[in-house]
Amino acid sequence: MGNTFYFQWEVDLIRFLQSYMNDIEVKIMSIISMFGEELFLILLLGFLYWVYDKKIGVKVGVRLMTALLFVPLVKNIALRRRPYMDNPGVECLKPVDPEADIMDITAQEYSFPSGHSANSAAAMGSLAYFFKNKIFKVLCVLIPLLVGVSRFALGVHYPTDVLCGWLTGYCAVLLLPVLEKKFKDQRKLYFTIFGISLVGIFYCRTNDYFMGIGMMLGLLLGNLFEEKLVDFPKPANALAAVLRIVGGIALFFGLNTLLKMPFSKELLASASAAQFALRTVRYAIIAFIEFGPYTMLFGKIIKKK
């Protein structure tokens, strides 16, 4: 299942790196890889939206979700198998789903482009764009670079997957401001991007796509709810800021667990239309609550008409 295509130098490079990696270095690469994963993105968006500036939080969130959605739209066309699936000597040192068979493409997803690389580029590129600071400009290059290298060193991506992932993330950061200037109501732009991404419903068969459309829908609706009914203030002190972030992370994982409970493990692990629909709804509910009703705990305020 899937397609196999690569340059020989890519396989040679992965084998070369893995031949020098011990258990400690694998752990280091796995930690670096986390800068393109769910927990890091939640922490970043949580800090920006709940603590720093919710308008910037939404803009960064849309850039992240745009990259997050574009990647599986391409993945499910290219259908590129992961390097370890076709190249003896290349090991899978960090599977996408540790509980699933490493050869299960539905669970482990396709290889091209790299979602971790796109996510880290979109996240750090957004920080560099909104915060004109030399440190963020350095991190904008350094962290995606390290994340990308970690992905092919761990055997789960080809270097060309990583290159395309970087391009996707940085394009989201650079193109969104251009489009935002052309829309007086930026929410219309964001819902237009969401609507265009729905084309993937007809051909995408991997979990990352359905998580992405659920997250983006929940983000947009949650922010609309917050603007119309809440309008929460900034935290009064550092303790309040920490409590907002910790509470939001706990809520995210708590809801994710709770919303899975009514369904069997077999259904949740399947590649059925029902599972994809449930995943979309689950992440839409989680994101909506996180960016909308959860903010009502921050103090005031139901707006009076």
Cα separation of 120 and 147, whole Å?
7
Answer yes or no: is pLDDT of 233 > 50.
yes
**What three-state secondary structure class fits 271?**
coil
User: Looking at the DSSP assignment, which residues form a beta bridge with residue 3?
Assistant: 80
Bridge partners for 148 per DSSP: none
- Work out the end-to-end distance of the chain between its first and last CA atoms, rounded to an integer number of angstroms: 57
Q: How many CA atoms lie within 13 A of 179 on its CB side?
A: 18
For the chain, what is the mean pLDDT? 90
Q: Which amino acid is at 108?
A: Q
Q: Residue ranges of the domains in the chain?
A: 8-298
Distances (CA, A) of 45 to 65, 140, 166: 11, 16, 20
- Per DSSP, the three-state class of 3 is strand
* pLDDT tens-digit map of 58-87: 999 999 999 989 999 999 999 999 999 999
305 pLDDT above the threshold of 50: no
- Does this model's pTM top 0.85? My answer is yes
3-state secondary structure of 185: coil
pLDDT digits (tens, 9 = 90+) for 161-191: 999 999 999 999 999 999 988 888 888 899 9
Closest to 171 (Cα-Cα) out of 63, 61, 75, 72: 63
* The pLDDT of residue 247: 93
**Cα of 39 vs its chain's centroid, Å:** 9
